[in-house]
């Protein structure tokens, strides 16, 4: 990234201080001012007049302004027009023999200069080539991308899309330097956030993630290409969306053939190509964007030719998967049809429009689909208590709010050129397509099914579930579900809360409840639940394999078959059939969470929060411009946060999450080593001996001596008797604490040297600098395992899919509590636990139930 003037770094302070400090603590503000003062005092105070005080000037100096393209389009069908020859009304015809659209293309708007005749609707997109230059000109990005070209796929287990057959399906494209592979996402959201009573509005966000980056960096705002935002207040229909997609597709096609793009390593330009691999979104967005039939159509499945009437079929051999040639042929026939009647005939026969590629969204299909349906409709938890509540409904356009991330700052840079107000448009999006009405009817039927459901749990059982939700120890990054689950006041659950119910809380309490009853119905319910959780842990895993996919399909068919017997009055929903295809998706794409809609929807949540003053005419422009500016500022911070001196120190204070993810532990000098170690306190003999043995095993070529073994040779390396104690660390983006600080944050599972896994609590953590290398030593108190006799009562041994276990809550008299020393790399993940009283499961001593599902097989 280049800068136009020498005070550009100082301009960053002005921009950051004016826009960010309002979101920081008083301590951060004071520290930032002190750090900035160290840079400002010697050089700048004498020349303050050179520093721009207008934020737009700062944006220009820092090259934060994106290249935005606005094109004229029809408000109804989105047909593209040129300003030089635009007619009064839209003349586009859906087919050669259809009537013209007829929508008015001009309008009168009030501006500061008086009424003006302007185009009624503009479509806002970002220039792809300009963004690529920003993206590839940042230091380090090309090096990260190059790793994808030299990556060697894992032969058995897939850890990312790089290991998948999908990655190899593009031939040599994904392994050729200069070629970039993206995912394509589209979905709609309500930018009003329900702030105007009774009004709804819809904007569609189109985004690309660069799949050549490591997964943890793909979704960051500075690495996301925000293609465009469809203009409010109405979203395109299943037929008019083509006009929205065409400009995007044209630019992507041009980049597929290659263009000269300037990069950090090639400032004069290098040939760069781009391709789209998966298209991601929820079911409605995918079907609308790619032209598949609605969920109530006879051809309701975009993966196979199963008819809607056969939705209960559980034999994968019964249906035939769609193939690309047949889909393209039917789509081309539909496109060339001369009348709407003929198009409908083709559509009814094949269930496709003109389409290229798709993937099933795990979050909407499984977590918010299968799991929510099982809870609300099959179990009757969280049922709607009255028909009035059902009719009142909820905001279906709401997007999950953006959680605090390392990009937690905003640029409030409004452009008030047009004096517009929300009442100059109709807010309610129209729905003149079969697909739209299909999804609305499907949602209504789901709500009515929940209203008719009968809760299978007694009030006493529900109270035990509530107690488990309340008393279970979990780490701070887990959002605890409502403690009054099942009551009207608990509100709408988010996707991550549905997931934790089935991977943490229900597995900790339902086996205890159902096995104690000894009723055949409860045993059947437990088996059904076990199959569902087993499938959940597989489909939500960050690894995938053919054997795991087959295991998923086996348990999912068992789940659906037993559900028919346990819940005979509950109808099968399209989601249940779609989930039958998860096995083949895992085999082809790899881990499905890495292609989930969730990070894209977080960006939608960020877009919702951008201040637009509800100016509909420029709402899409404001949101796109602001989030693109935010991405460029974030990229700047990421590039310069580690520079030495007050400037880097100030950035670290203002953007602590950036600093936490950007810094590595460099080697230190011998003088600094002695100085840092001197800040510590004396280790106990037991801990000291464990560290000494551990280090000498880890570094056999650098033997450290015991500090009491005097005299020491001049060249000897001696293990210091002191170390600095720390209360928490960050590991793979998660905070781990000692048991004294936070029991839930200290409960972990960890790998042992022999390849097995154990669990326990982090007792203490110590840092030392040894031979110039910063080292972290973690002391863990393992759990006390059940005796052979009590292990016979461990119900989780018969339910391995729950990933649970039972241990003693306190060491037994004949067992000693010893600590083990592990490295940070041995941590597998947090472990949720629930303490149970003596007598639970028929075990006399107090026990602790564990669930080791939170790691989800992350590397």
Look up the domain containing 642 and give its range.
1-63+614-663
Q: Give dist(CA 438, CA 296) in Å, integer.
A: 6
679, 818: one domain? yes
State the CATH number of the domain containing residue 703: 2.30.30.490
Count how many domains the chain has: 5
pLDDT for 347 = 55
834, 794: one domain? yes
627, 502: one domain? no
Question: What pLDDT digit, counting tens, does each position of 626-659 carry?
Answer: 999 999 999 988 887 777 777 677 777 777 766 5
Higher pLDDT, 308 or 260: 260
The residues, any chain, with a CB within 8 Å of residue 443's CB and separated by 6 or more, are 396
Q: Give dist(CA 511, CA 70) in Å, integer.
A: 58
Length of the chain: 859
3-state SS class at 657? helix
Residue 730 predicted with pLDDT over 60: yes
Lowest-confidence region among 375-379, 388-392, 483-487, 832-836: 388-392
Does residue 125 belong to any structural domain of this protein? no
Encode 91-100: b = buried (16+ Cβ within 10 Å), e = exposed.
ebeebeeeee
Question: What pLDDT digit, counting tens, does each position of 457-510 carry?
Answer: 999 999 999 999 999 999 999 999 999 998 876 678 999 999 999 999 999 999
Residue 412 predicted with pLDDT over 90: no
Lowest-confidence region among 420-434, 614-628, 814-828: 420-434
Task: Tell which phi-psi region holds residue 277, choosing left (phi > 0), alpha (psi between -120 and 50) or beta.
Answer: alpha
Alpha-helical runs (H) found in 540-683 = 546-566, 574-578, 582-589, 598-609, 616-640, 646-654, 656-662, 670-677
Does residue 207 belong to any structural domain of this protein? no
pTM given for the model:
0.84
Of the pLDDT bands very low, low, confident and very high (cuts 50, 70, 90), residue 46 is very low
Does residue 442 belong to any structural domain of this protein? no
Beta pairing class for 832-836 and 270-280? unpaired
- DSSP tally for the chain: helices H, then strands E: 30, 25
Question: What pLDDT digit, counting tens, does each position of 147-171 carry?
Answer: 999 999 988 999 999 999 999 999 9
Does residue 802 belong to any structural domain of this protein? yes
534, 623: one domain? no
Does residue 627 belong to any structural domain of this protein? yes
Burial class (CB in 10 A: 0-12, 13-18, 19+), 751: middle
Does residue 213 belong to any structural domain of this protein? no
Alpha-helical runs (H) found in 453-589 = 459-471, 495-500, 506-517, 520-539, 546-566, 574-578, 582-589
pLDDT for 429 = 35
347, 461: one domain? no
The residues, any chain, with a CB within 8 Å of residue 218's CB and separated by 6 or more, are 209, 210, 211, 599
For 442-452, what is the mean pLDDT? Answer: 66
309, 334: one domain? yes
From residue 198, give the alpha-carbon distance in Å to each of 247, 541, 653.
33, 40, 42
Tell me the β-bridge partners of 474. none
- Torsions phi, psi of 738, nearest 5? -80, 160
pLDDT for 181 = 98
752, 640: one domain? no
- Torsions phi, psi of 189, nearest 5? -145, 165
Lowest-confidence region among 335-349, 394-408, 757-771: 394-408
Q: Give dist(CA 657, CA 659) in Å, integer.
A: 5
The residues, any chain, with a CB within 8 Å of residue 291's CB and separated by 6 or more, are 238, 331, 352, 353, 354, 355
704, 845: one domain? yes
Does residue 826 belong to any structural domain of this protein? yes
Residue 377 predicted with pLDDT over 90: yes
3-state SS class at 475? coil
For 617-626, what is the mean pLDDT? Answer: 93
Instruction: Please give the structure tokens belonging to residue 608.
Output: 């919702």
587, 655: one domain? no
* Sign, Cα dihedral of 590, 593, 598, 603: negative
524, 643: one domain? no
674, 795: one domain? yes
Question: What pLDDT digit, counting tens, does each position of 105-126 carry?
Answer: 999 988 888 999 999 999 999 9
Question: What pLDDT digit, counting tens, does each position of 213-230 carry?
Answer: 999 999 999 999 999 999
Does residue 19 belong to any structural domain of this protein? yes
31, 74: one domain? no
Instruction: Please give the structure tokens belonging to residue 627.
Output: 């989030």
- The number of angstroms, rounded, from the C-alpha of 588 to the middle of its chain's C-alpha atoms is 20
pLDDT for 560 = 98
């Amino acid at each position: 990234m280049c800068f136009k003037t020498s005070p550009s770094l100082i301009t960053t302070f002005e921009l950051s201080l004016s826009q960010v400090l309002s979101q920081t603590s008083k301590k951060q503000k004071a520290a930032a001012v002190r750090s900035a003062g160290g840079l400002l005092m010697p050089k700048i105070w004498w020349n303050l007049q050179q520093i721009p005080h207008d934020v737009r000037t700062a944006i220009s100096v820092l090259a934060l302004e994106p290249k935005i393209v606005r094109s004229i389009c029809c408000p109804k069908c989105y047909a593209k027009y040129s300003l030089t020859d635009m007619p009064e009304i839209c003349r586009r015809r859906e087919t050669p023999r259809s009537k013209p659209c007829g929508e008015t293309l001009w309008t009168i708007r009030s501006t500061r200069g008086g009424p003006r005749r302007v185009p009624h609707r503009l479509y806002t997109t970002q220039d792809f080539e300009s963004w690529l230059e920003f993206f590839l000109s940042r230091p380090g990005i090309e090096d990260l991308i190059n790793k994808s070209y030299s990556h060697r796929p894992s032969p058995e287990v897939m850890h990312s899309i790089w290991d998948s057959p999908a990655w190899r399906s593009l031939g040599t494209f994904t392994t050729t330097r200069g070629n970039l592979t993206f995912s394509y996402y589209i979905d709609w959201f309500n930018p009003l956030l329900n702030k105007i009573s009774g009004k709804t509005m819809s904007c569609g966000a189109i985004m690309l993630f660069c799949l050549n980056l490591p997964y943890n960096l793909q979704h960051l705002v500075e690495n996301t290409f925000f293609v465009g935002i469809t203009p409010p207040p109405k979203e395109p229909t299943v037929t008019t969306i083509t006009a929205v997609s065409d400009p995007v597709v044209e630019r992507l096609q041009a980049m597929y053939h290659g263009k000269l793009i300037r990069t950090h390593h090639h400032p004069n330009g290098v040939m760069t190509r781009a391709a789209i691999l998966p298209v991601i979104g929820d079911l409605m967005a995918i079907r609308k964007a790619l032209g598949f039939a609605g969920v109530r159509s006879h051809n309701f499945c975009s993966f196979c030719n199963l008819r809607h009437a056969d939705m209960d079929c559980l034999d994968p051999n019964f249906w035939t998967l769609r193939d690309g040639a047949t889909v393209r042929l039917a789509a081309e026939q539909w496109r060339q049809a001369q009348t709407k009647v003929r198009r409908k005939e083709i559509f009814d026969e094949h269930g496709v429009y003109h389409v290229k590629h798709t993937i099933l969204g795990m979050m909407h299909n499984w977590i918010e689909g299968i799991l929510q349906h099982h809870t609300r409709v099959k179990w009757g938890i969280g049922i709607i208590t009255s028909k009035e509540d059902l009719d009142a409904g909820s905001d279906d356009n709401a997007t999950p709010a953006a959680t605090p991330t390392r990009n937690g700052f905003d640029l409030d840079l409004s452009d008030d050129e047009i004096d517009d107000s929300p009442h100059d448009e109709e807010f309610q999006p129209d729905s003149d397509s079969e697909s739209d009405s299909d999804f609305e009817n499907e949602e209504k039927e789901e709500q009515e099914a929940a209203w008719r459901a009968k809760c299978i749990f007694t009030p006493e059982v529900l109270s035990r579930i509530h107690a488990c939700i309340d008393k279970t120890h979990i780490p701070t990054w887990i959002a605890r579900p409502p403690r009054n689950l099942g009551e009207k006041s608990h509100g709408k659950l988010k996707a991550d809360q549905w997931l934790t119910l089935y991977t943490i809380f229900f597995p900790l309490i339902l086996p205890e409840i159902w096995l104690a009853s000894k009723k055949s119905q409860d045993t059947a319910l437990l088996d059904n639940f076990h199959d569902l959780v087993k499938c959940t842990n597989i489909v939500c895993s960050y690894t995938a394999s053919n054997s795991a996919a087959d295991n998923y399909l086996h348990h999912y068919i068992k789940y659906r078959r037993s559900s028919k017997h346990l819940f005979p009055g509950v109808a099968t929903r399209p989601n249940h059939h779609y989930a039958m295809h998860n096995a083949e998706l895992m085999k082809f794409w790899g881990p499905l969470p890495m292609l989930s809609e969730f990070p894209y929807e977080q960006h939608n949540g960020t877009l919702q929060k951008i201040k637009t003053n509800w100016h509909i005419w420029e709402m899409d422009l404001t949101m796109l411009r602001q989030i693109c500016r935010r991405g460029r500022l974030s990229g700047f911070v990421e590039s310069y946060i580690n520079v030495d001196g007050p400037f880097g120190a100030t950035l670290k204070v203002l953007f602590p999450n950036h600093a936490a993810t950007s810094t590595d532990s460099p080697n230190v000098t011998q003088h600094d080593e002695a100085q840092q170690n001197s800040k510590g306190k004396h280790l106990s003999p037991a801990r000291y001996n464990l560290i000494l043995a551990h280090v000498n095993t880890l570094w056999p070529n650098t033997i450290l001596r015991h500090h009491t073994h005097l005299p020491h040779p001049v060249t000897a390396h001696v293990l210091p008797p002191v170390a600095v104690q720390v209360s928490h660390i960050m590991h793979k983006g998660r905070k781990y604490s000692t048991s004294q600080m936070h029991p839930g944050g200290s409960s972990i599972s960890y790998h042992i040297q022999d390849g097995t896994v154990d669990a326990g609590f982090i007792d203490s953590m110590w840092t030392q600098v040894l031979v110039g290398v910063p080292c972290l030593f973690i002391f863990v108190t393992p759990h006390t395992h059940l005796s052979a006799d009590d292990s016979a009562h461990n119900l989780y041994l018969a339910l391995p899919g729950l990933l649970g276990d039972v241990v003693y809550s306190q060491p037994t008299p004949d067992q000693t509590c010893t600590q083990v020393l592990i490295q940070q790399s041995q941590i597998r993940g947090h472990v949720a636990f629930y303490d149970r009283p003596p007598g639970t499961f028929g075990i006399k001593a107090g026990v602790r139930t564990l669930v080791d599902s939170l790691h989800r097989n992350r590397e």
